[in-house]
Amino acid sequence: MAVALAGAATTMIPALHGAVPMTTLQIQVLSPLGRPVDRASVIVTFVKGRAKMKLYKKEFTHWELKTNQQGLAKIPPIPQGTIKVQVIASNYQTFGDFFEVEDAEKTLTVQLKDPQAQYSAHEEEKSKSKAK
């Protein structure tokens, strides 16, 4: 009986070692005018997906990169699933969004926005109190 159990266990092991689908990801960062933004910080966090090789445990992966002069950040192969991308560059608004990655190769294009004027809810209270 022990031989039968050992034989059944060895037939299941190849099924657990299935290849995890991977994606080669590039992120292109552009200014509002469409020009590449160099030295922008790009943070990529793998959010959702399961690894078959590790008995469907969650994959926790995180990368922090800077863009090159062409505005590209190249990320090593990552598992397919949901990723969170954040882009931080001086003189631009911070960008953040979630993306589904299901292709073998993918290029995400992020167009940054100019910073907006700062808004404060307390300014209205000060002007109302002065008017009294």
Per residue in 58-117, pLDDT (tens digit) is 556 789 999 999 999 999 888 888 999 999 999 999 999 999 998 889 999 999 999 888
Class of domain 18-115: mainly beta
Say if residues 4 and 86 touch (Cβ distance below 8 Å): no
Helix (H/G/I), strand (E/B), else coil: 37: coil
The whole-number pLDDT of residue 13 equals 43
The whole-number pLDDT of residue 12 equals 44
Confidence of residue 129 (pLDDT cuts 50, 70, 90): low
The whole-number pLDDT of residue 61 equals 79
Residue 81 DSSP symbol: E
Q: How far apart are CA 87 and CA 44, in angstroms?
A: 9
Q: How far is CA 119 from CA 32, 62, 115, 126, in A?
A: 22, 33, 12, 14
